[in-house]
Amino acid sequence: MANFQVNILGCGSATPSYRHMPACQVIDFRDRLMMIDCGEGAQLQMMRQHLKFSRLSHVFISHLHGDHFLGLPGLLSTLSLHEKSGSVTIHTFAEGADILQRILAVFCRDASYEIKYNIIRPERAVIFEDHALIVETFPLYHRVPCVGFRFSEKPKQRHLRGDMIRFFNVPVSRLEAIRNGEDFVTPDGTVIANDRLTTPASPSVSYAYCSDTAYNPAVADDVRGVDVLYHESTYADDNAAKAAPRGHSTAREAGRIAAAAGVGKLVLGHYSKAYDSDEPFVAQASEEFSGPVIAANEGMKIDLL
Ligand SMILES: [Zn+2]
Ligand SMILES: [Zn+2]
């Protein structure tokens, strides 16, 4: 069963609050779980949201601030207690890999699974690719090196029309090529055009994650056309003067990026602890972006398919 679901585990900012957990999301993509950022408490949030440790295969760390990283040592050592097998790949800057290796050398000596590192840089790059998915980094504009992540499904195969496949007696050995768009040539040499044998592929969807960043129009180019954009909105208009100097955005600025990029839906998060309501965030972003705007919350699931 194909699935592409974003689970919000934490959408608060750096200072702890009773309302929100620090940054963490888990993408449930087909047969695996891919975590983005890992604030404190991420392992408990996984349990609360019934996301199985055994399915976790990748962790993507946007930058080395505590609210995006400090849940990782605890999570990785817990995985061993659960006798996880296989491997987990940590995608992080060189400094993050170095720190984590030193912590785990003490606290996770006998890991039951392999921990792999993929060193990323604050630049545009493809950092993961398989038959179905591409993950890319792009630069964000924060107080320390920071990247956003774009998850894009690869183009899918066309759907076979059973009636026409039977009508033209297409052999099973040709079906894979026909799903990929080839025509069929009958034994007497007649060419049957692909669009008589198939219907178009389902659309491929994409998701982009931007946290943390000051407003920068360049971000819109990197997230252009995604179906769902998660963009940090640490502040509302009342604290707009604090946003840029601290390397953060307001909800209104997140709305501007969403509008400039032509995304399908905007999800807000990384709220400052100064707020006790999401309402001004959604209202102010909606003044800039005419598409749907939702305020992230712990436990929220967003289905892209
Ligand atoms: Zn943060
Ligand atoms: Zn940060």
- Per DSSP, the residues of 231-263 read EE--B-GGGHHHHGGGT--BHHHHHHHHHHHT-
Residue 301 is encoded by which pair of tokens?
A: 């699931």
Q: Ligand 1 mean position to 270 CA, how many Å? A: 7
Ligand nearest to the CA of 232: 1
Cβ distance 192 to 160 under 8 Å?
no
CA–CA distance, 9 with 7 (Å, rounded to integer): 6
From residue 162, alpha-carbon distances to 186, 195, 200 in Å are 17, 13, 14
Confidence of residue 6 (pLDDT cuts 50, 70, 90): very high
What does 259-291 look like in DSSP terms, one character per residue? HHHT-SEEEEE-B-TT-S-SHHHHHHHHTT--S
User: Does 132 have pLDDT greater than 70?
Assistant: yes
Cα(261) to centroid(ligand 2), Å: 23
Residue ranges with CB less than 5 Å from ion ligand 1? 67, 212
Q: What is the whole-number distance in angstroms between the Cα of residue 271 and the centre of ligand 1? A: 9
β-strand pairing of 206-210 with 228-232: parallel
CA of 65 to the centre of ligand 2 (A): 5
Quote the percentage of the chain above a pLDDT of 70: 99
Q: What is the pLDDT of residues 178-213, one digit of tens each?
A: 999 999 999 999 999 999 999 999 999 999 999 999
Q: pTM for the complete prediction?
A: 0.94
Q: What is the mean pLDDT of residues 43-48?
A: 97
Cβ atoms of 61 and 90 within 8 Å: the answer is: yes
Cα-atom radius of gyration of the chain, to the nearest Å?
22
pLDDT digits (tens, 9 = 90+) for 222-261: 999 999 999 999 999 999 999 999 999 999 999 999 999 9
| pLDDT exceeds 90 at position 16 | no
CB atoms within 10 A of CB 124: 13
Catalytic residue among 37, 67, 222, 278: 67
Length of the chain: 305
Q: In one letter, which amino acid is 291?
A: G
Distance (angstroms) between ligand 1 centre and the Cα of 220 equals: 20
Residue 98 is a catalytic residue: no
Over 80: is that where the pLDDT of 1 sits?
no
Note the ligand closest to the C-alpha atom of 233.
Answer: 1
